[in-house]
Amino acid sequence: MPIINITSQPFTDQRPGTSGLRKRVKVFQQEHYLENFVQAMFDAIGNTRNQTLVIGGDGRFYNETAIQTIVKMAVVNGFKRLIIGQHGLLSTPAASCIIRKYQAFGGVILSASHNPAGPEGDFGIKFNIRNGGPAPESITEAIYQLSQKISSYRIFECEDISLSDIGTQYLQDMQIDIIDPVTDYAEMMANIFDFPAIRALLCNGRFQMRFDAMHAITGPYAKEILEKRLGAEVGTVINGIPQADFAGGHPDPNLTYAPELVAELFAENGPDFGAASDGDGDRNMILGHGIFVTPSDSLAIMAANADLVPAYQEGLKGIARSMPTSQAADKVAKSLNIPLHETPTGWKFFGNLLDANLATLCGEESFGTGSNHIREKDGLWAVLFWLNILAVRQQSVLDIVRQHWQKYGRNYYTRHDYEEIPTNKANQLIERLQLQLPQLPGQKMNGYIVKYADNFGYHDPVDNSIAENQGIRIGFTDGCRIIFRLSGTGTQGATLRVYIEAIEDNPDKLFADTQTRLQDLIELADSLAGIKLFTGRNAPTVIT
């Protein structure tokens, strides 16, 4: 079984985004496409000889096929040991956990996160570094540059390995360990949270919850932890069997794409608590009976109640949030007298802060929350955090949220997504906005006075790296904000994200409908950016 050298040529579209390389499955199925990127990745990450590599993905279509290719290229590139989840499965948080636990050189995670799957859907690949977090831009840029120069790659010609049997096998001198994908992660969760208190809550005969795994990777994790270890009623986890096409669904845990769960939680006799996670298990949606908790509020409430969770009882070193995330967590950080770090969108920007012990909790408005336990956002961890709070406080989600608003004020917040816009139109919209920025400060618009208008830039306090043009911000003198960004997570056209935030401290005005309360800012955002003009859309694709 020889090592064969395959002649190839570059593909011009292999620049990784904030979460690796994401394309349609059919793009990855092109001859040499995956192999080119994998070889560029192995060349970019440094000396791979005698190193340990973790491999796994969310089980979407093409997952196992890609793993077999990566294994046959890994042996040629000198890796000593591979750790692979059984059937090729690893949630993104579990992969980060395993990289850190076994002190691996890094990991290859195969996922397109919350994007649809199947033969006509999306696929993705990214490299996570030794700390368990996504590769920084220095590595992703090196991968891209190498992908544009590649002329050949080497691969080991052999039969596929078994991904179904837990245990050790060998390919030449390379050790391949197929592991249970859930065990290490579940043990980590038991060391973070008060499992006895959560078990008492779930088994008291009164408390009811529902967890929607959306036919994606988190199903086995939720069943093991919630139903088996914590004693939740069998059937608490719905849509819990991972499917290669996510049962034709869109595994994005929000009000639009999890209608079954939302309807149940807003029903007259609905459960007390509901949650969902996405395709690869790193995002979360939190619901109480009759209430949706925005990810921004969720981060703030978790931070304010962190002392109820065993792992965080000694206090938080800081809170980090992405720039478009609402400023609700800022108020908690001020109250706790700890730093608040504002970063660009993309979990990789939190890694340095966590490694330097400058932050403990991190969050993004795009339904991602996490902490220093790993270097990825973590959907099921967030659900367990909320269950721990509920178990200790013995209050409803609605009461906890309302009491938080009464103490800190409410940050009314929404995100409007315009998906699959022609890229040239999206770029024209942003360019037009950019040109307006110098003239906006001081102007009065719809009763709001512009305090600042810029394109957000970030100076990393740990490594002094600079990230520019991370989103257009228009801030007003009363603290309200409108933010515009083009997202890098889609595979067709561009997604325009518009974030709108208003701050309300009047205790008599804390409980209004969000879209109604923000209507004047929503209209202002449209007029500033010419959204209808450039997109041709009368309404967003998704509102969260």
pTM, to two decimals: 0.94
Crossing angle of the two packed helices 397-408 and 379-393, in degrees rounded to 10 = 90
Q: What is the CATH number of the domain that holds 136?
A: 3.40.120.10
Max avg pLDDT among 6-20, 217-231, 493-507: 217-231
Q: Are 209 and 271 in contact (CB under 8 A)?
A: yes
- By C-alpha distance, which of 312, 22, 329 is closest to 192? 312
Say how many C-beta atoms besides its own lie within 10 A of residue 305's C-beta.
20
d(CA 482, CA 471): 10
Same structural domain for residues 318 and 190? yes
- What average pLDDT does this structure show over 38-65? 97
**pLDDT for 362:** 98
Contacts of range 32-35, beta carbons closer than 8 Å, 24 or more positions apart: 32/6, 32/8, 32/153, 34/66, 34/69, 34/125, 35/6, 35/8, 35/69, 35/73, 35/153, 35/155
Same structural domain for residues 323 and 305? yes
> Beta 284-288 vs 237-238: how paired, if at all?
unpaired
What are the Cα distances from residue 46, in Å, to 77, 132, 540?
A: 11, 16, 43
Number of domains the chain is built from: 3
- What average pLDDT does this structure show over 201-221? 97
Q: What is the CATH number of the domain that holds 452?
A: 3.30.310.50
- What average pLDDT does this structure show over 374-400? 98
Say how many C-beta atoms besides its own lie within 10 A of residue 478's C-beta.
12
**pLDDT for 59:** 96
d(CA 152, CA 158): 19
Which residues on neighbouring strands pair with residue 497, listed in sequence order?
417, 485
- What average pLDDT does this structure show over 79-93? 98
Same structural domain for residues 189 and 297? yes
Give the range among 135-139, 411-415, 434-438, 485-489 with minimum mean pLDDT. Answer: 485-489
Q: Tokens 């690949």 sit at which residue?
A: 125
d(CA 434, CA 484): 10
pLDDT of 221 > 90? The answer is yes
Domain that holds residue 466: 410-543
Same structural domain for residues 166 and 119? yes
pLDDT of 193 > 90? The answer is yes
Same structural domain for residues 172 and 243? no
**pLDDT for 488:** 58
Question: Residue 397 has which token pair?
Answer: 């989600």
Q: How confident is the model at residue 224 (pLDDT cuts 50, 70, 90)?
A: very high
Is the model more confident about 90 or about 544? Answer: 90
Residue-wise pLDDT for 268-290, tens only, equals: 999 999 999 999 999 999 999 99
pLDDT of 56 > 90? The answer is yes
**pLDDT for 1:** 54
- What average pLDDT does this structure show over 91-101? 98
Same structural domain for residues 243 and 300? yes
Question: Residue 378 has which token pair?
Answer: 């973590």
Q: What is the dihedral of CA 129, 133, 138, 139, to 10 degrees?
A: 40
What are the Cα distances from residue 172, in Å, to 71, 100, 223, 513?
A: 12, 26, 37, 62
Same structural domain for residues 365 and 463? no
Same structural domain for residues 329 and 297? yes
d(CA 306, CA 298): 12
Say how many C-beta atoms besides its own lie within 10 A of residue 136's C-beta.
17
**pLDDT for 17:** 84
Same structural domain for residues 142 and 156? yes
Same structural domain for residues 391 and 421? no
d(CA 279, CA 543): 19
Q: How confident is the model at residue 251 (pLDDT cuts 50, 70, 90)?
A: very high
Residue-wise pLDDT for 469-494, tens only, equals: 999 999 999 999 999 999 855 556 88
Same structural domain for residues 220 and 353? yes
Q: Where among 358, 391, 408 does a domain terminate?
A: 408
Q: Are 109 and 67 in contact (CB under 8 A)?
A: no
Residue-wise pLDDT for 421-430, tens only, equals: 999 999 999 9
Q: Tokens 């993905």 sit at which residue?
A: 57
Q: How confident is the model at residue 213 (pLDDT cuts 50, 70, 90)?
A: very high
Same structural domain for residues 125 and 222? no
Q: What is the mean pLDDT of the chain?
A: 95
Q: Where among 408, 427, 458 does a domain terminate?
A: 408
Burial bucket for residue 20 (CB in 10 Å: 0-12, 13-18, 19+): buried
Q: Which residues are catalytic?
A: 113
Say how many C-beta atoms besides its own lie within 10 A of residue 507's C-beta.
11
- What average pLDDT does this structure show over 444-469? 94
Residues 6+ positions from 100 with CB-CB distance below 8 Å: 131, 132, 374, 375
Count helices and strands (H / E) in the chain: 18, 27
**pLDDT for 346:** 86
Q: DSSP assignment, residue 250? A: -
**Number of C-alpha atoms within 13 angstroms, CB side, residue 115?**
28
d(CA 176, CA 179): 10
Question: What whole-number percentage of the chain has pLDDT above 90?
Answer: 91
Q: Where among 154, 181, 208 does a domain terminate?
A: 181
- What average pLDDT does this structure show over 184-200? 98
Element (H, E) at 169: strand 167-171
* Cα 514–Cα 517–Cα 523 angle in degrees, nearest 5: 105
